[in-house]
C-alpha cells in the first residue's frame, strides 16, 4: 500500500525499496513497469546520500504527506491522502580553515618564498566560492615576532591537484591565487590545500613570523554578517543563504621561525701510517685527521670558518688539506683553505653556508 503512496515515491530508504519490491511480487496485478521509476528514483537518490557528510544538499525539496484510513457506517474501509507539504532545504555558509604544518616552518633570515600550508574546507551544504586574504604579522604582534612579507614569486597559491605539496613551477605547478579571478569553489564537504608563500626580512634568530589566512564566502552580503542572517534567493537551488556560526568566514594562523641552526664539529683520526707501513702510532707515523662540520636546521650560516690548531708534537704535512675530497693549497689565497704557519693552524673559510649542510675537511700530520 505504501508503494502507491506519493510520499514513498520520494523515498530512498533501501528497506522501503525492498519492501516495495516484495509487494510487487505478491500482487501480480501490479505491473512491475510502473514500479521501476520508483526503484530507479530511489537508487539514484541513494547515491548522493551515501556521499554526504555535511547534510542534505541545499535546494533539496523535502515533502511530507499523510494517509488516513477510516470506516463510516457499513461502508468498506476507505483511504484519503493529505496534500503534500513542501519546503526547500536552504544553504548554510560555513567555511573552515586549518593550518597544516603542525610546527613553525623554519626559514632563513633574510629568506624568500617559504611556504605555509593550509586546508580550506566547505562544511556548508552548498557549492560555494571563497575569497582568500592574508594578513602579515597581525596586530598586536607579540614581542619577538615579525611580519613576513608576501612571497616574491606570489602570495597565495591554490593546490592544482596534479602533485601533492607546493610546486611553484613545472608541469605540476600550483595555481597562483588572484582575488576576483580564481576564487576556490568547493562542493559541500570538499577541501582544497592553500599555500601561503612568504619572504623573510632580516630578523633575529628564533623570531617567529606570523601570517593569518582568511577565507570568506563570496555570496554577496554573507561574509561578516551576523550568524543566522538569511539572504533570500542567494542559496544554492534558489533558497536562502544562511550565514553560519562563524559569520561565513574562517581564519587560521600559521607561523615561521627564523633560522634556529645547529652546528656540530666532529674530529677523528681517519688513518695512521707508520714508518713500517703499518698502523702503529709512533714517532714518524702519519696521522690523517678528518673534521666533519654539520650544519642542521634551516637558515644560512654567514662567513662560516673552521680552524683547527695542530696537536703538539705533530708536524703538518704540507699540501695535505682536502675540502670535500678536493685538494687545497696551503697559501692564503682564493681556495678557501690555508695552513697558517705562525699558529700551526689549519683554517678553512666556508663563506655563507645554507643549512642543512655537511662539510668534510681532512689533513695530515706527522708525529714528532
Partner 1 sequence: MKTRYPLPVFILFAALCSYAFNTQAATAPIKVSSLAEVEVEVVESGKKIIRRGTPDKAVPGTEVIFTDTFENVSDKAAGDIVINNPIPENMKYKGGSAFCTNCAIVFSADGGKTFDVAENLKLRGADGKLHTALPGQYTHIRWSYQGQLAAGKSGEVGFRAVIN
Q: Interface with partner 1 by CB under 8 A: which residues?
A: 2, 5, 7-8, 10-13, 15-19, 31, 33-34, 36-37, 40, 44-45, 49, 52, 54-56, 58, 60, 62-73, 77-78, 80-92, 125, 228, 230, 239-240, 242
- Of 55 and 214, the one with the shorter C-beta distance to partner 1 is 55
Q: Measured from the CB of residue 128, what is the shortest distance to partner 1 in angstroms?
A: 13
Residue closer to partner 1, measured from CB, 48 or 161: 48
In the complex, the smallest distance separating the C-beta of residue 186 from partner 1, rounded to whole angstroms, is 16
Q: Supply the DSSP string of 269-295, one letter for each residue.
A: EEEEE-TTSS----TTPEEEEEEEEEE
**Minimum distance, C-beta of residue 176 to partner 1, in the bound complex (Å):** 34
Give the end-to-end CA distance of the chain in Å, rounded to a whole number: 110
CB 67 within 8 A of CB 219: no
Nearer to partner 1, 54 or 272 (CB): 54
Of 69 and 368, CB closest to partner 1: 69
Tell me whether residue 155 or residue 236 sits nearer to partner 1 (CB atom).
236
Smallest gap from Cβ 162 to partner 1, in A, equals 33
- CB 223 → partner 1: shortest distance, Å? 17
Virtual torsion, Cα 30, 33, 34, 36, nearest 10 deg: 120
Instruction: Determine the angle formed by the axes of helices 14-26 and 32-51, rounding to 10 degrees.
Output: 170
Angle (CA) 32-35-38 rounded to 5° is 155
Minimum CB–partner distance for residue 19 and partner 1 (Å): 4
Beta bridge partners of 60: none
Nearer to partner 1 among residue 89 and residue 293 (C-beta): 89
| Shortest separation between residue 242's beta carbon and partner 1, angstroms | 5
Q: How far is the CB of 34 from partner 1 (least distance, A)?
A: 7
Q: Is 294 exposed, middle or buried (0-12, 13-18, 19+ CB in 10 A)?
A: middle
Q: How far is the CB of 230 from partner 1 (least distance, A)?
A: 5
Residue 121, C-beta contacts closer than 8 angstroms, at least 6 positions apart: 95, 96, 97, 98, 186, 189, 190, 191
Q: Are 127 and 236 in contact (CB under 8 A)?
A: yes
Q: Which of 292, 286, 284, 287 is nearest to 325 (CA)?
A: 292
- Identity of the residue, 243 or 261, whose beta carbon is nearer to partner 1 in the bound complex: 243
Residue nearer to partner 1 on the CB measure, 41 or 176: 41
Q: Enter the C-alpha cell of residue 72.
A: 463510516
At residue 336, what are phi and psi to the nearest 5 degrees?
75, -40
Strand bridging mode 230-231 / 191-200: unpaired
In the complex with partner 1, which residue's Cβ is closer, 82 or 276?
Answer: 82
CA distances to 271, 282, 292 from 277, in Å: 12, 12, 26
Q: Which residues, including other chains, have CB under 8 Å from residue 141's CB and lie 6 or more apart?
A: 147, 210
Within 198-317, where are the H helices?
none
Amino acid at each position: 500500500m505504501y508503494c502507491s503512496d506519493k510520499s514513498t515515491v520520494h523515498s530512498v530508504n533501501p528497506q522501503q525499496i525492498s519492501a516495495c519490491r516484495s509487494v510487487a511480487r505478491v500482487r501480480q496485478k501490479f505491473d512491475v513497469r510502473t514500479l521501476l521509476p520508483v526503484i530507479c528514483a530511489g537508487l539514484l537518490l541513494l547515491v548522493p546520500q551515501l556521499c554526504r557528510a555535511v547534510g542534505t544538499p541545499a535546494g533539496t525539496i523535502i515533502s511530507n504527506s499523510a494517509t488516513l484510513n477510516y470506516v463510516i457506517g457499513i461502508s468498506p474501509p476507505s483511504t484519503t491522502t493529505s496534500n503534500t507539504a513542501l519546503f526547500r532545504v536552504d544553504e548554510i555558509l560555513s567555511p573552515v580553515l586549518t593550518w597544516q604544518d603542525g610546527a613553525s616552518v623554519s626559514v632563513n633570515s633574510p629568506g624568500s618564498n617559504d611556504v605555509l600550508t593550509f586546508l580550506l574546507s566547505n562544511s556548508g551544504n552548498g557549492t560555494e566560492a571563497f575569497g582568500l586574504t592574508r594578513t602579515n604579522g597581525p596586530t598586536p604582534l607579540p614581542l619577538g615576532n615579525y611580519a613576513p612579507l608576501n612571497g616574491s614569486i606570489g602570495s597565495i597559491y591554490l593546490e592544482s591537484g596534479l602533485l601533492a605539496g607546493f610546486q611553484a613551477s613545472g608541469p605540476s605547478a600550483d595555481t597562483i591565487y588572484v582575488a576576483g579571478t580564481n576564487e576556490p569553489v568547493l562542493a559541500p564537504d570538499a577541501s582544497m590545500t592553500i599555500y601561503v608563500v612568504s619572504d623573510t626580512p632580516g630578523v633575529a634568530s628564533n623570531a617567529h613570523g606570523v601570517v593569518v589566512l582568511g577565507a570568506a564566502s563570496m555570496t554577496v552580503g554573507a561574509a561578516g554578517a551576523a550568524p543566522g542572517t538569511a539572504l533570500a534567493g542567494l542559496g544554492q537551488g534558489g533558497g536562502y543563504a544562511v550565514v553560519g556560526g562563524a559569520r561565513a568566514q574562517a581564519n587560521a594562523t600559521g607561523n615561521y621561525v627564523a633560522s634556529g641552526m645547529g652546528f656540530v664539529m666532529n674530529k677523528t683520526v681517519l688513518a695512521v701510517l707508520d714508518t713500517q707501513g703499518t698502523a702503529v702510532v709512533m714517532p714518524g707515523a702519519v696521522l690523517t685527521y678528518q673534521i666533519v662540520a654539520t650544519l642542521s636546521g634551516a637558515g644560512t650560516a654567514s662567513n662560516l670558518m673552521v680552524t683547527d690548531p695542530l696537536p703538539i708534537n705533530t708536524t703538518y704535512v704540507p699540501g695535505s688539506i682536502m675540502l670535500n675530497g678536493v685538494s687545497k693549497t696551503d697559501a692564503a689565497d682564493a681556495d678557501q683553505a690555508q695552513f697558517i704557519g705562525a699558529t700551526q693552524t689549519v683554517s678553512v673559510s666556508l663563506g655563507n653556508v645554507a643549512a642543512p649542510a655537511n662539510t668534510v675537511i681532512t689533513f695530515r700530520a706527522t708525529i714528532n
